């Protein structure tokens, strides 16, 4: 699933490399600067994203890699945002951040459990909380689209259970199904393969994979400590400890 998330950034780099003259020229026009600066920024963005991917997938410094990606996102958003639809871009970026936070949590989870005492466990739980909240921005974008009544109600139900962290693993799986319906089997399919540029279509497919990867990692890792599921698990473990204590006490008195 981390590779699913990274596929979107890989396709961004690949598209920029294949269409460097076009991408650089377009960015120069948007920023209203000399074309040379547009090409310079494109090269900078490619190197930054490539370095971040190497750190995330090829080393244990995923935090540094994610930080680089977020820095690139902030700069990109400042330069190229259409401010009349700023909140759409904000929620879209929040979705990307959620997938990256879940990626960091998954990388930590995959390590040897012997290394966990050296880590601050609250940081892991914070990643799960932040990832869950940021991924929930997907439902806000869906509600803003004015979808059909059934899908709108389903989105609100999924949003509630994901943000609350109740049966989080189950509803994360259901969100993947809803995501496939929304992006592939509904009238939004044109955003995937309705482009004249084949590379651009592949890039949008990779964005779909990135979103699916984020929610599948959520389905595996769960809502974490700061969720209703986490609260129920803590209460359950407390009752088990109390029950064991009563059994031991009875045996001693006997």
**Helix residue ranges per DSSP H, the chain:** 2-18, 20-31, 35-58, 62-80, 86-109, 121-135, 137-144, 149-164, 168-180, 190-193, 198-221, 228-253
The answer to whether residues 221 and 102 touch, using CB atoms and an 8 Å cutoff, is yes
Residues 126-182 have pLDDT tens digits of: 889 999 999 999 998 888 777 778 888 888 899 999 998 888 889 999 999 999 888
- pLDDT at residue 251, as a whole number: 42
CA 52 to chain centre: 16
* pLDDT beneath 70, residues of the chain: 81-86, 112-120, 187-188, 190-195, 235-254
Domains in the chain: boundaries: 2-253
Integer angstrom CA distances of residue 250 from 237, 242, 243, 246, 247: 20, 12, 11, 6, 5
Q: Give every CB contact of residue 27 below 8 A, 6+ residues apart in sequence.
A: 38, 41, 42, 79, 80
CA 216 to chain centre: 10
- pLDDT at residue 24, as a whole number: 86
- pLDDT at residue 191, as a whole number: 66
């Amino acid at each position: 699933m981390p590779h699913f998330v990274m596929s979107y950034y890989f396709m961004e780099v690949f598209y920029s490399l294949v269409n460097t003259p076009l991408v650089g020229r377009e960015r120069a026009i948007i920023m209203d600067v000399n074309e040379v600066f547009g090409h310079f920024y494109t090269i900078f963005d490619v190197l930054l994203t490539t370095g971040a991917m190497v750190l995330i997938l090829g080393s244990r410094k995923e935090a540094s890699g994610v930080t680089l990606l977020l820095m690139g996102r902030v700069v990109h958003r400042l330069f190229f945002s259409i401010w009349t639809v700023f909140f759409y871009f904000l929620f879209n970026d929040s979705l990307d951040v959620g997938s990256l936070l879940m990626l960091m949590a998954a990388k930590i989870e995959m390590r040897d459990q012997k290394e966990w005492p050296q880590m601050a466990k609250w940081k892991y739980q914070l990643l799960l909380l932040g990832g869950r909240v940021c991924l929930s921005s997907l439902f806000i974008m869906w509600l803003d689209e004015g979808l059909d009544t059934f899908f709108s109600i389903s989105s609100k139900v999924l949003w509630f259970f994901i943000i609350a962290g109740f049966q989080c693993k189950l509803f994360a799986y259901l969100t993947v199904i809803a995501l496939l319906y929304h992006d592939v089997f509904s009238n939004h399919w044109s955003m995937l393969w309705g482009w004249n540029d084949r590379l651009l279509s592949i890039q949008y497919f990779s964005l779909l994979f990135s979103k699916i990867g984020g929610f599948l990692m959520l389905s595996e890792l769960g809502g974490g400590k700061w969720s209703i599921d986490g609260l129920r698990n803590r209460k359950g473990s407390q009752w088990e400890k109390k029950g064991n204590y009563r059994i031991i006490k009875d045996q001693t008195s006997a």
